[in-house]
Amino acid sequence: MSEQELREGLRAALVDEPALSFDPDMLITRARRESARRRTLVAAGVATTAVAVAAVAVPTIIGVPRAVGPAGPGPDDPVPATPCATVPKPTMPLEKLTKTPLPTDSKKVEPGKAPKTVVPPAEPKEPAPFDCVPLTGKPTPPSGVEPPKPVLDLDWPPAGVTPAHYTAEQLRQRGTEMWEYLSKRFAEVVPDATQIAPGEFGGEAAGAVADGQTYLEAFTGFTLNNARSAVDIWISAPGAEGVSPVENCPADVPPGCKVDKRADGSFLVIKEESGGAREASILSVTHYRANGTAVRATGYNYDPTAHSAPTYLEDIPVTVDQLVALATDPALSL
Amino acid sequence: MRERDDDSFKEFAVGHAGTLRRTAFLFCGDWHLAEDLMQTTLVKIYRSWSKVHKQESLSNYARTVLLRTWLDERRRPFRRSELSGAELPDMADVAADPEVSAGRMWAKHLVHQAMLRLPKGQRAVLVLRYFDDLTVAETARVMRCAEGTVKSQAARGLETLRALVARMEAEVTL
């Protein structure tokens, strides 16, 4: 095929172009609406931050003593069913928050004088405990305690991670190693699956890698309950993934998305997306690792590798636990 | 934005909407998605119109935005299952001369279906070079890459395309 034939072919591909119903005024209206919404969101964020800072700073400055303890629902209140993220409990020592220093050993606090609930200072070597807070709103800070720092954003990418550079040969070799590993490992993680066929790790296409490529990706096809589907494994090089866990999990993602911080300092983002009229359902688990690598395992209720219109299954054939097992597998990394 | 800017943007949008949608279709192979990509591209351009409208090559700037928009769209999980059509549809254009019709069918389905099987970088280079008729230098500026990359991607894309078309032709004639 010559270059001229390609030119003709591309032009011929447009012969059934549908009529263009384009209204520039509507487009401008849409652009203005989106800009206004963005400005409103930014303004709301700034205002919320200002209120939170004022709520903490003003009583501290004027020296009003206050009870210390977590706000929000009581022990008997129902747990909200909203998607949630884990954020660390505040770790600021209480001595800094009240005028009267508290005893360092909480067991020595006299009944009636001690705060109702005492948030212990963080242990220096152990990770802080975490609370689950709704993602749909700002976490409610315990009254009298400085609101927790937004560590979910600040911790990604981890400090000190230098972006890695791999040659095509290195990527090819690593892809082959992971392909061999996945050929055995997938059957262990999804034991009921048959006809497991891991695809070649690559980039733009299966097996296609280039010098400096910052990720590897492969689909593993399988049959479960007589239906064909696949799991996508996507692995980014250290420092290459610029989307933070919270950015990956915005509050308005329906129907569910949550961020968990794990004890080793890594994050798990579990996100389920449905396609509405498309009937498509996609479940992804992304593991943001402490070394700056991100590994995502994605399950579909159809076969994303089929070159035909998808046949949708009622459910995604793999479970969250199975995707977590794949995403957190240390053997799958770059 | 001032009314004068709005007017100049409208003029630009009306003049480029069709071209952008056609390029988007060659990128993605779906007219509905192509329409979305074109509209999103124009919305993005409108937002920075006051800064960009005096650029020398607004058309190429629009192509860059379109390309980025398409690549961003492809990163979304929903778009991963691109429908490239494994089998060529058995259709006939009865209104045309059979010989011409056959040639057009070959071009329409075979070339574009083969294009949709190319990696996105190679596909973008081929569309920009052979549909939009950009030079190597212009293509490099639109794609924000080196001219050498454009040349190598174009050569590799053509080679892959030839192999794909040959294989698909063989499948059809079997």
Q: What does A166-218 look like in DSSP terms, one character per residue?
A: --HHHHHHHHHHHHHHHHHHHHHHSTT-EEEEEPPPBSSSTT---TT--EEEE
Residues B8 and B65 in one domain: yes
Residues B69 and B102 in one domain: no
**CATH assignment at residue B122:** 1.10.10.10
Backbone φ, ψ for residue A281 (5° rounding)? -135, 130
Residues B117 and B145 in one domain: yes
Question: pLDDT by residue (tens digit) across B9-30?
Answer: 888 899 999 999 999 999 888 8
Under 8 Å CB pairs connecting chains A and B tally to 116
| Rounded distance between C-alpha atoms, residue A120 and residue A128, angstroms | 10
Residues B55 and B106 in one domain: no
In the predicted structure, residue B78 carries a pLDDT above the cut 60:
no
Nearest chain B residue to A3 by CA: give it.
B130
Q: Do A6 and B130 touch (CB under 8 A)?
A: yes
Residues B70 and B102 in one domain: no
Reduced to 3 states (helix: H, G, I; strand: E, B; else coil), residue A251 is coil
pLDDT score at A70: 44
CB atoms within 10 A of CB B32: 10
A:11-40 residues touching chain B, CB 8 A cutoff: 11-18, 20, 22, 24-25, 27-28, 30-31, 34-35
Q: Do A3 and B46 touch (CB under 8 A)?
A: no
Asked if the structure places residue B84 within a domain, the reply is no
Partner B contacted by A302 (CB < 8 A): yes
Give A214 to chain B, closest Cα distance, Å: 14
Partner A contacted by B110 (CB < 8 A): yes
Residues B148 and B109 in one domain: yes
Asked if the structure places residue B25 within a domain, the reply is yes
Q: Which of B77, B109, B126 is at the close of a domain?
A: B77
Give B56 to chain A, closest Cα distance, Å: 22
Asked if the structure places residue B87 within a domain, the reply is no
Give percent of chain B above pLDDT 70: 74
pLDDT classification of B59: cutoffs 50, 70, 90:
confident
Asked if residue A313 lies in contact with residue A229, where contact means CB atoms within 8 angstroms, the answer is yes
Rounded mean pLDDT, B162-174 = 74
Give B91 to chain A, closest Cα distance, Å: 13
Measured between beta carbons, which residues in chain A are less than 8 angstroms from residue B25?
A: 13-14, 17
Asked if the structure places residue B83 within a domain, the reply is no
Give me the domain span that covers residue B136: 97-173
pLDDT score at B127: 93
In the predicted structure, residue B45 carries a pLDDT above the cut 80:
yes
At A252, list the tokens. 């308005």
Location of structure tokens 């998305």: A257
Give B62 to chain A, closest Cα distance, Å: 15
| Average pLDDT score over chain B | 78
- In chain B, the number of structural domains is 2
Asked if the structure places residue B82 within a domain, the reply is no
Partner B contacted by A205 (CB < 8 A): yes
Q: Do A10 and B130 touch (CB under 8 A)?
A: yes
DSSP state of A235: E
Q: Could you list the beta-strand ranges (E) of A199-332.
A: 215-224, 227-236, 256-261, 267-274, 281-288, 294-300
pTM value is 0.43
pLDDT score at A100: 36
pLDDT score at A185: 94
Q: Which residues of chain A have pLDDT under 50?
A: 67-154, 253-254, 276-277
Asked if the structure places residue B70 within a domain, the reply is yes
**CATH assignment at residue B21:** 1.10.1740
Residues B16 and B68 in one domain: yes
Question: pLDDT by residue (tens digit) across B85-111?
Answer: 444 445 554 445 555 555 555 666 777
Partner B contacted by A200 (CB < 8 A): no
Q: Which of B77, B109, B136 is at the close of a domain?
A: B77
pLDDT score at B159: 87
Partner B contacted by A248 (CB < 8 A): no
Residues B149 and B113 in one domain: yes
Residues B138 and B72 in one domain: no
Angle between helices B120-130 and A3-12 (to 10 degrees): 90
Nearest chain A residue to B20 by CA: give it.
A20
Asked if residue A273 lies in contact with residue A281, where contact means CB atoms within 8 angstroms, the answer is yes
Measured between beta carbons, which residues in chain B are less than 8 angstroms from residue A275?
A: 78
Give B130 to chain A, closest Cα distance, Å: 5
Measured between beta carbons, which residues in chain B are less than 8 angstroms from residue A12?
A: 104, 107-108, 111
Higher pLDDT, B82 or A51: A51
Q: What's the maximum distance between 2 C-alpha atoms anywhere in chain A? A: 90
pLDDT score at A144: 46
Asked if the structure places residue B156 within a domain, the reply is yes
Higher pLDDT, A181 or B114: A181
Residues B73 and B114 in one domain: no
Asked whether this complex has an ipTM greater than 0.85, the answer is no
Asked if the structure places residue B92 within a domain, the reply is no
Q: Which of B17, B43, B77 is at the close of a domain?
A: B77
Using the CB atoms, write b or e for A269-308: b if 16+ within 10 Å. Answer: bbbbbeeeeeebbbbbbbbbbeebbbbbbbbbbbbbbbee
